[in-house]
Structure 1
Amino acid sequence: MSINPMAYEAQFFGFTPQTFMLRIYVAFQDHLAHIMLVVEDTILNKLECIRPNKLTPSLIRRSTEQFFSLMKKIFNNLFGKMEDTLLKTVLSIPPNVLLPEDKGQEEFRYTPEQFQELQDEIDQLERQLKAESAAEQALLAELEEQKIVQAHLEGILQWFDGLENVGREEGVGNLKESFSALTKTTVKLQSVVREVEEKMNKLK
């Protein structure tokens, strides 16, 4: 059997030409074996009428097997020639013929260098896509953080509004001015604490 894979022919026929030839070969072999059994049966039936002393069923079986072996050799020789002819002519697609689904190859022909350039461009685009996807994920994560911070700020503003309302109820004028005065007082207190610490250190 041929070792050529004939993949293009298999694409066209739906089966490999070698498989087709193998099935023909097996079918011929089976029919040949069946014919030999029929011939042997016929000879044995005729012998029952003649009953010669030298022709026994075992001798006829050996003769039939020898004849079958000879026929197989002749058939194999003829089949090899037939297979070679069929695989090269009837079951082969010429190199210059394209199947309908491959017609696009005629319109778009690329050299190996052009194909490599296209492959490099595809790789570059894939890298850019991955980088943009990563940047998008980072922006989404940052947006989520900003939403959390905004929620905290809104909570703080609501707290300040609550303080201001409480301050009004308690008779405090402007909460911002109160915080400003408190801040100045804190700074003065810190200055006094530092002066006391310095004098304490000198006394030591």
Structure 2
Amino acid sequence: MSVDPMAYEAQFFGFTPQTCMLRLYIAFQDYLFEMMLVVEGVILKKLDAIPGCQISPSQIRKCTEKFLLFMKDHFDKLFGRMEEVLLQLVLNIPRNVLLPEDRVHEQYPYGKEEFQALQEELQQLQQQCRAEAAAGEALRAELEEQKAVTAELEKILQWFDGLENICREHGISNFKESLAFLTQNSKKLQDALKDVKEKSKKMEQHEQLL
């Protein structure tokens, strides 16, 4: 039997060519043994039909065994030639032929060092993805906090606007400076609110990109 592992052929056929040849050899050998038993039985019947025959069944068995060894020797030689032909021409994949699932390796050949570099790059990308996911969670939490602050600022602005309207309606002139001060603070709060809204909008856009 061949000592070549023929791993590529085994990948294609789903079985090793040597295993196939071994099964064929065993099948032919079993058939040869069975045929010799049949022949021996026929010879014994023929001898029983001959009156005064001096040939005993043990002699027939010895002759059968000798003939079987002769046939087996010739069969092994013939099978060896058949095995050589089948393994080289029928069950052999030429070295220049690639299976469809292996053509990608020809298009993108990678050595051991390149494969290691790809693994390291993949690990770095995974770490970056986890970091970006954590940053996204932090941004969402901060965005919720900014929304709460914005709501409070809007309430304060509404209160200042209401107070200013009341002063105007009642014509309280001695509150002019106070109103000016309140108006100035209201403007500052409006600017702060605008700044908070812009930051919240940027954070939402950044979160959508993640």
TM-score (norm 2): 0.58
Question: For residue 116 of structure 1, what is the aligned residue in structure 2?
Answer: 113
Question: 1:125 Cα shift?
Answer: 2.8
Residues 1-204 of structure 1 mapped to structure 2, 5 A cutoff: 1-106=1-106, 108-110=107-109, 112=111, 116-130=113-127, 132-133=129-130, 136=133
Sequence identity (%): 50
Runs ≥4 residues deviating over 4 A: 134-141
- Structure number with greater CO (CA < 8 Å, separation at least 6) is 2
Quote the offset at 1:8 in angstroms: 1.6
Distance across 1 between alignment mates of 2:116 and 2:91? 35
The alignment partner of 2:43 has SS state of: helix
**Structure 2: segments with no counterpart, 5+ residues:** 145-210
> Residue by residue, what CA displacement relative to the aligned partner does 1:106-129 show, whole Å, maximum 9, x if unpaired?
4x14263xx523431331331342
Q: What is the rounded CA distance, in whole Å, between the counterparts of 1:89 and 1:12 in structure 2?
A: 15
Please tell me the residue identity of whatever aligns with 1:124. E
Secondary structure in structure 2 of the residue aligned to 1:50: coil
CA distance in 2, matches of 1:56, 1:117: 77
Larger Rg computed on CA atoms: 1
Q: Compute the displacement of 1:139 (Å).
A: 8.2
Aligned Cα root-mean-square deviation (Å): 3.5
Q: How many residue pairs were aligned?
A: 154
Contact 2:47-2:53 at 8 Å conserved across structures: no
